[in-house]
């Protein structure tokens, strides 16, 4: 049983020397650097990041992966799912239509109400994501 170990060590040393295997110190330094750059959970960046995931999970069938209104199911609806990259609605309106659905807002009944499905945080995150892709001149 000694030989395989010796062999493994012999193989490992040159690999470490060429930098392909990282030492514990290097890994620790990398982890610390990541912690410094990863956005804090209360930051706007973290919210947008989480909102992107909400959007990809719940909204793309109709609004499309690019949020341009060209999802797989878009062609069966009239009016079409909104192009959310061009939306001039403010955040409060978006929050309302996402929570209560299109019909309650006097819009298409095919925009579902998400208030029972998504948490308050998910709704606020997805609205932050929509803000991040909205036209620069869209009202807040």
Nearer to ligand HEC, 87 or 124 (CB): 87
- The conformation of residue 103, written as its DSSP 8-state character, comes to G
Report d(CA 98, CA 67) in Å as an integer.
Answer: 14
Q: Of 15-23, 30-38, 40-48, 53-61, which part binds ligand HEC (CB under 6 A)?
A: 53-61
Q: Of 7-15, 21-29, 33-41, 83-91, which part binds ligand HEC (CB under 6 A)?
A: 83-91
Report d(CA 92, CA 74) in Å as an integer.
Answer: 24
Cis check: omega of the bond before 45, within 30 degrees of 0: no
Q: Give least dist CB 33 to ligand HEC, A.
A: 34
Report d(CA 29, CA 84) in Å as an integer.
Answer: 40
Binding of residue 67 to ligand HEC (CB under 6 A): no
Q: Contact with ligand HEC (CB under 6 A): which of 58, 70, 103, 115?
A: 58
Report d(CA 97, CA 111) in Å as an integer.
Answer: 8
Which residues contact ligand HEC by CB under 6 A?
Answer: 58-59, 61-63, 73, 77, 79, 81-82, 84, 87, 89, 94, 97-98, 102, 107-108, 110-112, 114, 126
């Amino acid at each position: 049983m000694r030989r395989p170990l010796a062999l493994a060590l012999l193989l490992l040393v040159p690999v470490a020397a060429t930098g392909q295997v990282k030492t514990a110190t290097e890994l620790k330094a990398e982890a610390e650097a990541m912690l410094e750059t990863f956005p804090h959970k209360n930051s706007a960046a973290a919210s947008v990041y989480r909102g992107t995931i909400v959007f990809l999970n719940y909204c793309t069938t109709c609004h499309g992966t690019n949020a341009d209104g060209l999802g797989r199911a878009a062609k069966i609806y009239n009016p079409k799912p909104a192009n959310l990259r061009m939306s001039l609605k403010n955040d409060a309106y978006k929050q309302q239509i996402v929570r209560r659905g299109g019909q309650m807002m006097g819009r298409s009944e095919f925009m579902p109400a998400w208030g029972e499905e998504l948490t308050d945080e998910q709704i606020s995150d997805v609205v932050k994501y929509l803000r991040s892709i909205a036209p620069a001149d869209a009202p807040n």
